A and B are shown apart, each in its own frame.
Chain A
Amino acid sequence: MSRIKDLQKNLFGGTTSNARQFGMIFTLVAIVLLFQIWTNGLTLTSGNLIAVVSQYSYILILAIGMLMVIVAGHIDLSVGSVAAFTGIVVAKTMQEFALPWPVGILIGLAVGALIGAWQGFWVAYVGVPAFIVTLAGMLLFRGGNQYIGNADTVPVPEGFRTIGAGFLPEVGPDTGYNNLTLLLGLAACAAVVWRELKSRQTRREMNADPAPMWISVLRMAVMVGVIVFATLRFAGGRVGTSLPISGIILIALVLAYSHYTRNTIGGRHIYAVGGNARAAELSGVKLKRVNFLVMMNMSVLAALAGMIFVARSSASGPQDGLSWELDAIAAVFIGGAAVSGGLGTISGSIVGGLVMALLNNGLQLEGVGSDMVQIIKGLVLLLAVAFDVYNKSQGRFSIIGSLTRPFRRDDPSPPTDRPSPASDSDKAPVAG
């Protein structure tokens, strides 16, 4: 039986993938295939993939921050308003003082950090529940957006639009593809192979059982295959298009934050706080600081997402950011995070976000109205979480769950899966 588990664990999302996240990857693949057939191959065309990435990159960026907030046991309802507020501040200052656009981006990030510090202060140091603080923030910054912008739409300069609507330039010989995207793809393939070999080596050095060779090879083959496929698609779009700049920003953030949450002490502290705040504090985790930083980080990412949206829309408007918080929260929960905190991964949230994005996109390609799209998305969210709740109430007896347990016993606990002080026994098995 451990073969399947090997496969599950090693192919997807490393050690913390739980049943739902694993299931979600299959759901994602199923959705892609379903729409690929249904739309006669439109879903996986270059143009559509590029459009999907630039349309949903800002929601996925929010999902990264939201995952950390939810893991820490909080929630942030203000992200849409914070994004809209930052957008209008940046657009207005650039318009009125004729600032160069990189300065505009810095101002935006600073605004995000300030708002984050404000919200973090109330959550961490005063102890007001994050739900309340961010509900207030939602009103506060939505009002701020309309106050500053006069409920009007403010355009942003051409250069600024790069971060939302820009593509990699066409350089080098004419290969029929976007050369820079090809290079990125090549680098990604190399990184996957290198990482795989490195982890095998690490495991050997630590006298742990490396995954069987066939799994390593299969995993590399699948990953490289997916990357090659994606690279060719993104590089092969209309001349002048490539992997969108916003997509590159997203990938960089996903890599950085995945590393942070999985492999650093600071990152593990977030899980510890969410798992059991009291226990975490007793074992020396600086509770207030973790909460403060998580809330602040969320607002900075929301500011970035807001700027990307404004750049893509070429103007900041009064309706920016409406119900983004709900999209981000939905992505995180579909991606396997626990409502009570302490569980969830960045990659899971991204998969959850992609499920929503591709569902949306596929339905729109089919010409399904936005009313039905909302109904379907609502049902998907409910079913995804219900699946998890049901599994828990059944003592986690599910097909995948039952496969998980025998495997866990002989799992040679790799360094990334160091049980955090707070992972109480109830949660740990699912986390692993």
Chain B
Amino acid sequence: MRKYLTRSAALIGVAALLTLSACGSEREGTAAPTAGGSAAPAKGFAADGLIGVALPSKTSENWVLAGDLFTNGLKEAGFTSDVQYAGASTTVADQQAQISAMVTKGAKVIVIGATDAAQLTTQVKQAKEAGAVVIAYDRLITNTPDVDYYIAFDNFKVGQLQGQALLDGMKAKKPEAPWTIELFSGSPDDNNAGVFFNGAMDVLKPLIDKGDVVVGSGQTDVKQTAIQGWKAEGAQQRMDSLITSTYNGDKKLDGVLSPNDTLARAIITSVKGAGKDIPVVTGQDSEVESVKSIMAGEQYSTINKDTRKLVAETIAMVKSLQAGTEPTINDKDTYDNGVKVVPSYLLPPVIVTKDNAAESYANDPKLAPLTQG
């Protein structure tokens, strides 16, 4: 018995050593190419190359939809895909680990919808050094020189469209100036909030200066108009106070610039609560409740950012990278991430009012039924 054990133990030991030495010698093969192949920009890659897609957690329908579209789209295009969501409780750390894993697997292109745009510097650098192309999807990755492309909807354009829709809506109701409006903007800690507001002011400012448009309360500074955390109750409170302070008598409010649908509905709730006529209220995001509200004639407009289009354009970008050609870029100087200006492809957003809702949401299985009748 003892002998047997001794012998078997010795055998195990020898086997272990053999395995180890076998693994040890294998490393020359694996390390040499990695050591040499640093940071050379990809000049095209195999048609079935691996494309990594790292998305935030599945908390919003938009991301779930995007993930499915990526999985199917990349498969149709002949790529091998790895689409990952960050876990709901440990988003940042999960996403970091997922991107590292994609790099290890040799992904040629990594598309990242960042959970926290400033906390991916190390992983993006790692990807770049391994020769992968990094595309920031929807959210610009900041504080790093290693982002290659940025693809998103044009948020400045969103603001401009909102401003224009506000004017159009008010003109339709009351043909001649002056119109009285109030301004709302998004959370001050969200980069996009300022971009939306500036876009809208790009349209409204000339008219305000001319006196055609009057901001009833005089609050035009982004600090005064901001709603912390994009919170509905914040917008409702501010609107309540504005009605009390400015619109208590017969003074009429013609329009409200609202950066998104959640705030728009809160504003409408507040106005209704005060027993006033509902003014022209803008929005964004095509939320189900707001589309219903638009069809019911309460909210005036929203913005449709079609995830399908964004994903399709991203896949087109991946295809041109695969072929070794430079992908289409339409903005080379707007999106500065703190280290470099990231070449961007911006998709035009679409304004949606009651008139064009049916047409705009025709391809959207969830919203299309709401626009019928």
Contact = CB atoms under 8 A, between A and B. Distances in A.
Query: Is B a genuine binding partner of A?
Result: yes
B89 interface: yes
A4 B8 CA distance: 10
A370 interface: yes
B122 A313 contact: yes
Interface in A342-361: 360-361
B16 interface: yes
A211 B189 CA distance: 64
A227 to B, nearest CB: 10
A369 B85 contact: yes
Interface in B65-122: 82-87, 89-94, 96-98, 100-101, 103-105, 115-122
B143 A367 contact: no
B34 interface: yes
Contacts of A152: 189
A164 B122 contact: yes
B172 interface: no
B85 A314 contact: no
A232 interface: yes
A227 B324 CA distance: 42
Given A237-B34, A313-B92, A370 B118 contact: no
B30 interface: yes
Contacts of B20: 225-226, 228-229
B140 to A, nearest CB: 13
Nearest to B57: A370
A360 B82 CA distance: 16
A118 B24 CA distance: 49
A416 interface: no
Interface string B1-45: 010011001100100110011011011001110110010000000
Contacts of B143: 155, 314-315
A51 B104 contact: yes
Contacts of B35: 176, 236-239
Contacts, number: 161
Interface residues of A, number: 59
A303 B22 CA distance: 41
Given A3-B5, A229-B24, A370-B84, A165 B122 contact: yes
A110 interface: no
Contacts of A374: 87
B293 interface: no
Contacts of B307: none
A370 B87 contact: yes
Nearest to A312: B122
Interface stretch (A38-46, A134-142, A420-428): A38-46
Interface string A44-56: 1111100100110
A365 B122 contact: no
A370 B17 contact: no
B121 A313 contact: yes
A7 interface: yes
Given A46-B34, A319-B91, A218 B9 contact: yes
B269 interface: no
A371 interface: yes
A232 B84 CA distance: 31
Given A3-B9, A221-B13, A361-B101, A238 B129 contact: yes
A51 B24 contact: no
Given A225-B20, A370-B87, A47 B118 contact: no
B57 to A, nearest CB: 8
A153 to B, nearest CB: 4
A400 interface: no
Nearest to A3: B5
B64 to A, nearest CB: 12
Contact of B96 (A45, A47, A55, A226): A55
A304 B198 CA distance: 42
Contacts of B129: 238, 240
Contacts of B21: 225
A406 to B, nearest CB: 14
B164 interface: no
A45 B118 contact: no
A365 B104 contact: yes
B16 A222 contact: yes
B6 A46 contact: no
B166 interface: no
**Among A51, A155, A228, A240: residue with most chain B CB under 10 A:** A51
B130 interface: yes
Nearest to B21: A225
A231 to B, nearest CB: 10
Interface string B267-300: 0000000000000000000000000000000000
Nearest to A48: B104
B192 to A, nearest CB: 14
A165 B122 CA distance: 7
Contact of A237 (B23, B31, B118): B31
12 contacts: A39-B105, A214-B10, A229-B20, A238-B34, A239-B35, A313-B96, A322-B92, A324-B90, A370-B84, A370-B86, A370-B94, A373-B87
Given A42-B104, A236-B27, 8 more contacts: A4-B9, A45-B104, A153-B118, A176-B32, A225-B16, A239-B35, A239-B38, A314-B119
Interface of B: 2, 5-6, 9-10, 13, 16-17, 20-21, 23-24, 26-27, 30-32, 34-35, 38, 57, 82-87, 89-94, 96-98, 100-101, 103-105, 115-122, 125-126, 129-130, 143-144, 189, 229, 338
